Amino acid sequence: MRILVTGAAGYVGYAVGRRLVAAGHKVDGLVRRTDAVLPKGVRPVPGDLLDPGGLPRGPYDGVCHLAALTRVRESFADPLGFFAVNVQGTVNLLQAVDAARVVYGSTAAVYGTPERQPIPETEGTAPTSPYGASKLAAEQAVRFHARTGAIGAVVLRTFNVAGSVDGRPDPDETRLIPKALAVATGRAPRLEVNGDGGTVREYLHVDDLAAAHVRALETVGPGEERVYNVGSGTGAAVRDVVAAVEEATGRAVPTLRRPPQPEPPLLLCDAAAIRADLGWRPVRSSLPEIIGSAWDALTRADG
């Protein structure tokens, strides 16, 4: 198939493009900068989601839409910017590009903080940040567009993504694993931990997420509309992540305990639907594998 990947030079977009090429597809990567680093075999296509006149028209057999603003805390300072990129950018893409199917990279942030754990796709959506709200609005644009029969669509709601492919580390050091690794390298003096470090989250290797995107793209048919959670289903407390980073790196990760914050003690993913429908399984999402690949990427970059 001929596929367009938006955000192709980003952390997840790079991994998805790499997987699509390996699967034998012809891949165009939408980039705003001509010097963007893309996987081997991905053809750069310049464009900006906020400039619909400059977007490629296609036709494409499919689009993996991954370009977005993603930092939750920043979204509170710039909610309009997040809605412009994440919602209007998605609308512009759907209007401009002739594609048979779209796989949209969404987030578990659309659920907010539900009491039911693990979280199934049937859980009500109640985002608590402008980021989550903007991603939910973009989801709805994709899904309602699919209901017109214009496209087949799959929404993939991802939990915490981590790890590395091709020696590319996660650049977002606001996330726990990159932050802990930054402390291990000495770039940060300590890791701040809320409470006793018992808050549990789950982590998914970026390569497993990329495989889910490929499987969804190859499976969805014209006019179909599907929503799947994508996650490992296995949780780890903050203190477990710190211990795993220390073991993988052989270096201490000093922590500074902060007062407990009003946050959910447990957030886990029910990914039974994507396993049953698409036959997808995470194969690289053990905590040692995730942290080991991320540490290897950092040491390569420093070397």
Positions annotated as catalytic residues are 131
Segment 245-251 long-range contacts (CB within 8 Å, at least 24 positions apart): 245/177, 245/180, 245/181, 245/184, 245/291, 245/295, 246/184, 247/288, 248/288, 248/291, 248/292, 248/295, 249/181, 249/184, 249/295, 251/184, 251/185
Cα–Cα distance list, 79 to 135, 201, 221, 292 (Å): 12, 25, 34, 35
Question: What is the maximal distance between C-alpha atoms in the chain?
Answer: 55
- What the block records as the tokens of 105 is 């990279």
- Residue type for 23, please? A
**Helices marked H in the chain:** 11-22, 72-77, 79-83, 89-96, 130-147, 176-185, 206-219, 238-249, 272-278, 287-302
